[in-house]
Structure 1
Amino acid sequence: METLKQPLTGSALLALVALWLGFTIPAQAHPHVFVNAKAEIVYAPDGSVQALRHIWSFDEAYSAYITQGLDKNNDGKLTPDELTDLAKVNMESLPEVGYFTIAKANGKQQEFGPPSDASLAFENKILTLTFTLPLKNPPHANRSFGIEIGDPTYFVAFDIVDVPDAVVTRDAPKGCVVRVARPPKLDPATQLKLAQEDITATPDMSSYQVTTRALVACP
């Protein structure tokens, strides 16, 4: 499965969101945002993949930073209503970065339709974005379906959590198996080098695998 092909994707997304909210982006080391992610691959009754369901939980520091000033009634809680506008601007920005997602059916890369069911929740100091990403033209048969999630520039570090339900299928044909391939941990020297980069720099990550791949194989 080929890797994503967009430059400085994570910084573009963060800049758009920060600009809309009126924030100033602080200089910091790479990666700038950490995401614990889960994904659900949704099948139709005919055995075709219809959509992906993403669940992205942002790190505590970024969650606090990006939700500044959104508690309109100052009750110390962020409700879904107070997060509606932030969810909207996120969904308007994500097409610019390809939703940090590549999908392939039977080896052919798929296009996505407009996302739906987007929502944000803030619990235990963690902001979580959930949305459905439909395939634009779902193929009728999927003996294999693969996804790749992540930011190849490593501005945003996606971690597909190592739990049984990290990548699952819904209503898949009987006998389908999901296999997840997570990227290896970066060596200490590389981590140190990235820590010395500021927000204006785009490190060359072409020789590193920083995205997670999952493959559904069906009989």
Structure 2
Amino acid sequence: MTGRAFLTALPAATLLAACLAGPAQAHPHVWVKAKAEILFAPDGTVKAIRQHWSFDEAYSAYITQGLDKNGDGKLTPDELADLAKVNMDSLPEVEFFTIAKVNGRKQEFGTPTDAGLVFENKILTLNYTLPLKHPPPKSRSFGIEVGDPTYFVAFEIVDEPDAVVTRDAPAGCIVRVNRPPKLADDVAQKLAQEDITATPDMSGYEVTTRALVACP
């Protein structure tokens, strides 16, 4: 699976133009600033992840062209509903760009809910809730990884206090976020020279952000 699968539900011409509109016209093709909320059930079980993904300005502008149906210069959630569905229908193919682990054991995801797009300040943001399919009993650790290993879509969990937060967590739980190191200048330059349709070998590089929720 590659990040390209996230975008191929769109018409090929639209995909290509969106990529060309992106920064540097290079690999990666879409930039995403991400936030996550870890949602707990009353019994202390992690039940879901609430994702918030904000796309880069160039991609946001291109992918929303022609969606202002009433011509009022604003994009409402209703006008963005079809685009949100396209995104959500394609995300299972790439496992939601997310890995969740409880006590080190990888978890399966259920059917996402509460999905929608918001367009504000020239930025398109996808919000949705990703439930665990079989939430295990209360555990001491819950970890997530967010990213596209092929680097077709470049995810960055924002460096802000609310980048990864818990909701209704047991008392004493703490969150630690571990971001990947910045790619060296020579590596970034090499990627910028890649053919726009290419998917380079990223096996030697760390491009995903990890967060761990530890509870007493």
**Contact 1:17/1:93, CA 8 A, preserved across alignment:** no
Deviations 1:124-174 (A, max 9, x none): 100000000000000011110000000011111111000111000001111
Distance 1:206 1:24 in 2: 25
Q: State the partner residue of 1:204.
A: 201
SS in 2 for 1:16: coil
SS in 2 for 1:23: helix
Distance 1:198 1:97 in 2: 22
Of residues 93, 116, 119, the one that matches 1:119 is 116
Deviations 1:178-208 (A, max 9, x none): 0000000000000000001123211111111
Residues 1:86 and 1:142: Cα distance change in structure 2 (over 3 Å): same
1:180 aligns with 2:177: yes
1:13 aligns with 2:6: yes
User: Once the 2 structures are TM-superposed, how far is the Cα of residue 25 of structure 1 from its aligned partner?
Assistant: 1.0
Structure 2 portions without partners, runs of 5+: none
User: Once the 2 structures are TM-superposed, how far is the Cα of residue 17 of structure 1 from its aligned partner?
Assistant: 2.7
Q: State the partner residue of 1:25.
A: 16
User: Once the 2 structures are TM-superposed, how far is the Cα of residue 15 of structure 1 from its aligned partner?
Assistant: 1.8
Q: What's the RMSD between the two structures over aligned residues?
A: 1.1
Q: Aligned AA for 1:118?
A: A
Distance 2:15 2:157 in 1: 29
Q: State the partner residue of 1:3.
A: none
Of residues 161, 179, 183, the one that matches 1:164 is 161
- What is the identity percentage for the equivalent residue pairs of Structure 1 and Structure 2? 74
Deviations 1:52-78 (A, max 9, x none): 000000000000111111111122111
Distance 1:49 1:157 in 2: 27
Alignment of 1:53-132 (within 5 A): 53-132=50-129
Q: State the partner residue of 2:147.
A: 150
Structure 1 portions without partners, runs of 5+: 1-5
**Contact 2:98/2:146, CA 8 A, preserved across alignment:** yes
Distance 1:13 1:85 in 2: 15
**Contact 1:13/1:94, CA 8 A, preserved across alignment:** yes
TM-score by length of 1: 0.93
**Contact 2:28/2:153, CA 8 A, preserved across alignment:** yes
Paired residues in the alignment total 210
After superposing on structure 2, the runs of 4+ consecutive aligned residues of structure 1 that deviate more than 4 Å are none
TM-score by length of 2: 0.94
Q: Aligned AA for 2:88?
A: M
Q: Aligned AA for 1:23?
A: T
Q: Aligned AA for 1:156?
A: V
